[in-house]
Amino acid sequence: MEIIDSPRAMTAWSDRTRAAGRTICLVPTMGFLHDGHLALMRRAREMAGKVVVSLFVNPMQFGPAEDLARYPRAFERDAELVGAEGVAVLFAPTAEEMYPAGFQTRVVVSGLTDTLCGLSRPGHFDGVTTVVAKLFHLVKPHLAVFGQKDFQQLAIIKKMVIDLNWDVGIIAHPIVRERDGLAMSSRNSYLEPAERRKALCLYNSLQLGRKMVAGGERDGHRVREEVQQYIVSCGDVDIDYVAVVDAETLADCRTINDRSLLALAVKIGRTRLIDNTLLAG
């Protein structure tokens, strides 16, 4: 595996690889890798001859009061994990390389960013779309794999690719969970043991929503209210949002159908966690 930290060198590698007729698949990450990330890499290897994993803690997507400074980092460990997955390149640029002095450009996707996490994290998705746009230009992938845990992010990136006519196939990978159901996340490392147990309220509440729909419930607001009441009953959990939305438009879904998504964001201690599930099927 080759480790590249220069944007110019990354593009040169991609140009050579494309000229040789090889397919490139990108897996963007912020590091502190877990089995969920490794599953994305394995999926990428199934689809492309060359896999590039980017490792970049993107300062543009963190708000002033968020966890940029304490976001977990373990570069040597991450490099070993990536290398063991048969990845061709680990692209690990610095913030100074990605956002040099005088940088003033942002890529903004309107509409889809105005709800769910976009409400409580203003500017977050502008940072996401800007850095993903830069990665697409530098790595020049034919394909890119994103996890469905960040469902809103996935929807926004798909929309950006369509609107800007990029020839990049976006592959959605199902949520990878711990044995007890908790969605894998780098931020899970923040949780104290008691908080880790409390975090299961996310998975359990998703299962409650699915059980209601399987039993015939079709009122989206009733599902949302029952799920919210369950989370409140768990105690010591701050709810950011509980929403039932259309999986494509992210608009409020009053009547459950096969595109209805239950999405959650809660704060346990100092840790903000998200999760989601399709309610039907």
Confidence of residue 91 (pLDDT cuts 50, 70, 90): very high
For 156-181, what is each residue's pLDDT tens digit? 999 999 999 999 999 999 999 999 99
Q: Is the pLDDT of residue 9 over 90?
A: yes
Domain that holds residue 264: 186-276
Q: Provide the CB-side half-sphere exposure for 118 (13 A, CA).
A: 19
Residues catalogued as catalytic: 37
For 38-52, what is each residue's pLDDT tens digit? 999 999 999 999 999
CA distance 220 to 200: 22
For residues 202-229, average pLDDT: 98
For 135-153, what is each residue's pLDDT tens digit? 999 999 999 999 999 999 9
Nearest to 119 by CA among 224, 242, 222: 242
Q: In what order do the strands lie in the sheet with 143-147?
A: 2-4, 89-91, 50-55, 24-29, 143-147, 169-173
For 100-118, what is each residue's pLDDT tens digit? 999 999 999 999 999 999 9
The residue written with tokens 């259309």 in the block is: 246
pLDDT of residue 65: 84
Identify the domain boundary among 117, 148, 173. 173
pLDDT of residue 279: 98
Confidence of residue 281 (pLDDT cuts 50, 70, 90): confident
Nearest to 175 by CA among 201, 159, 153, 197: 153
> Domain for residue 181, yes or no?
no
Q: Are residues 215 and 100 in the same domain?
A: no
Please indicate whether residue 156 or residue 281 has the higher confidence score (pLDDT): 156
Considering the entire predicted model, what is its pTM?
0.96
Supply angle C-alpha 195, 201, 206, rounded to 5.
150
pLDDT of residue 19: 98
Identify the domain boundary among 148, 173, 198. 173
Q: Provide the CB-side half-sphere exposure for 16 (13 A, CA).
A: 6
> Domain for residue 281, yes or no?
no
Q: Is the dihedral of CA 41, 44, 48, 51 positive or negative?
A: negative
Q: Is the pLDDT of residue 204 over 90?
A: yes
> β-strand 89-91 against 2-4: which pairing, if any?
parallel
Average pLDDT score, the chain: 97
Q: Are residues 88 and 123 in the same domain?
A: yes
Structural domain tally of the chain? 2
Q: What percent of the chain has pLDDT over 90?
A: 99
Identify the domain boundary among 173, 207, 231. 173
